């Protein structure tokens, strides 16, 4: 094996590891988001069925008779 092909092999191997790591990270983010959404959905309270439940800031129309 020549020095050039050995360097190419190392570069391609490192690119493969990086792409595998990025792929695993992306899968982890998607799976984690899905699990969090299911967890939040399964622990709803009766107040979660109302519009704007849990909002900290009141709307502009709140209390002005509109």
Rounded average pLDDT over 23-36? 97
Domain that holds residue 15: 3-50
Residue percentage of the chain with pLDDT more than 70:
67
For the chain, the domain total comes to 1
Cα separation, 55 vs 65, whole angstroms: 20
pTM, rounded to two decimals = 0.59
Q: Domain for residue 8, yes or no?
A: yes
Decide: 52 and 59 in contact? Cβ < 8 Å. Answer: yes
Decide: 20 and 13 in contact? Cβ < 8 Å. Answer: no
Q: Domain for residue 18, yes or no?
A: yes
Cα separation, 41 vs 46, whole angstroms: 12
């Amino acid at each position: 094996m020549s020095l050039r092909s050995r360097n190419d092999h190392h570069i391609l191997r490192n690119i493969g590891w990086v792409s595998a790591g990025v792929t695993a990270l992306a899968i982890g983010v998607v799976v984690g988001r899905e699990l969090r959404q299911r967890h939040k959905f399964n622990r709803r309270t009766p107040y979660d069925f109302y519009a704007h439940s849990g909002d900290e800031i009141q709307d502009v129309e709140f209390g002005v008779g509109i």
